[in-house]
A = this chain, B = another copy of it.
Amino acid sequence: MEQENIMDIPENGLLSKSIPEPSLRRLPKYLNLLIRLKNQGREIVSCTHISKALQVDPTLVRKDLSFTGMKGKPKTGFPITGLINSIEVFLNLKNIKEAFMVGAGNLGSALLRYDGFARYGLRIVAAFDNNPDKIGGEINGIKVLGVDKLQNLARRMHIHIGIITVPALAAQEMADMMIESGIKAIWNFSSMEISVPDHIFVINENLANSFAVLSHKLGQIQSAQNE
C-alpha cells in the first residue's frame, strides 16, 4: 500500500511543515512592496525584481513565496494581484480579528489612534485600564473600561487577541487573565517578558531591548572611527 510516508501527505494544516520564522517575517515586506508596485500600475513581477528591491536572494524569495501556495509562470513571473491576495490569505489578514487592549497609557493610546492596523484586519474593540480618569472615556472611538470587566467581556465576545501596554509589574497578571478568558495570541509591549502555556502565541515587542541593539551598533561604529 506504500503508506510509509503518510506524514508527507498531510490532510490538515497541523501536519504540514510550517513556514520558518525568518520566511514568515519577510512576507509582510514583500506585501508592502507588491502593493506599491500595484499602485504604480504594474501587473507582473519577477522574483529577480523583488530580490533587487529588497536585497533578498532571489532563490529565497521564490522559496518564501512558495509557502503561500502561489505558482509563478516561467519567463513571465507572478501576477501582482494574485500574489498580494495569496500573501494576505496566508497571513490571515483578510479576516477581521477583534482584539482587547489592556493599558490605555501613552503607548496604548497611540496604538489605539493608529488606523494603519485596520489594513491588516486588526480591530481593537475595547481598551481596559485601572485609572478612574480614563474609565468611561473613549480614545479614537474605542471605549475604555475597567480592567475588572475584561474577562467576562472577552469570553462573551470570543476575543482571541490581547494587546498589553501596561507597566512591567502588571503584565504577567494581565496575560494570565487574558488566557483564562480564551485569548489565544498576545502582543506584549511591556518590558516584562511574559510566560504562557504552549498553546498560546506571544510576541514580546520590547522596544527598549530593540533600542539596546541600536545602542551597541552605534558604539561599534563610533569606536571604529576613533581608531
A12 located at the interface, meaning its Cβ lies under 8 Å from any Cβ of chain B in the complex: yes
A107 to B122, CA, bound (A): 17
A72 located at the interface, meaning its Cβ lies under 8 Å from any Cβ of chain B in the complex: no
Chain B residues with CB under 8 Å of A29's CB are 193, 209
- Residue of B120, B217, B219 near A95 (CB, 8 A) is B219
Contact (Cβ within 8 A) B185 A217: yes
Contact (Cβ within 8 A) A218 B161: yes
Q: How would you classify the secondary structure of chain A's contact residues: helix, strand, loop or mixed?
A: helix
Considering only residues 200-227 of chain A, those with a C-beta below 8 Å from chain B are 201, 203, 205-224, 227
| Distance in Å: Cβ of A78 to nearest Cβ of chain B | 19
Contact (Cβ within 8 A) B106 A208: no
Interface 1/0 per residue, A27-69 and B, CB below 8 Å: 1110110000000000000000000001000000000000000
Considering only residues 108-124 of chain A, those with a C-beta below 8 Å from chain B are 109-111, 113-114, 116-117, 119-122
Sampled A-B contacts (28; CB under 8 Å): A12-B227, A13-B223, A24-B216, A28-B208, A28-B212, A28-B213, A29-B209, A32-B192, A32-B193, A91-B212, A92-B215, A92-B216, A93-B212, A107-B110, A107-B111, A107-B114, A109-B110, A110-B110, A117-B208, A121-B215, A122-B215, A184-B218, A184-B222, A185-B217, A185-B218, A185-B221, A199-B221, A205-B207
Could you say how many copies of this chain the assembly holds? 2
Chain B residues with CB under 8 Å of A221's CB are 184-185, 199, 201
| Distance in Å: Cβ of A141 to nearest Cβ of chain B | 14
Contact (Cβ within 8 A) B92 A218: yes
Q: Give the size range of A's interface with the partner.
A: 35 or more
A18 nearest in chain B by CB position: B220
Contact (Cβ within 8 A) B217 A201: yes
A109 nearest in chain B by CB position: B110
A134 located at the interface, meaning its Cβ lies under 8 Å from any Cβ of chain B in the complex: no
Among A93, A114, A214: residue with most chain B CB under 10 A: A214
**What would 20 more interface pairs be, CB under 8 Å, given A32-B193, A110-B110?**
A12-B223, A12-B227, A14-B227, A29-B193, A91-B219, A92-B215, A106-B109, A106-B110, A117-B207, A117-B208, A117-B211, A120-B208, A120-B215, A184-B218, A184-B221, A187-B210, A201-B214, A203-B214, A205-B207, A205-B210
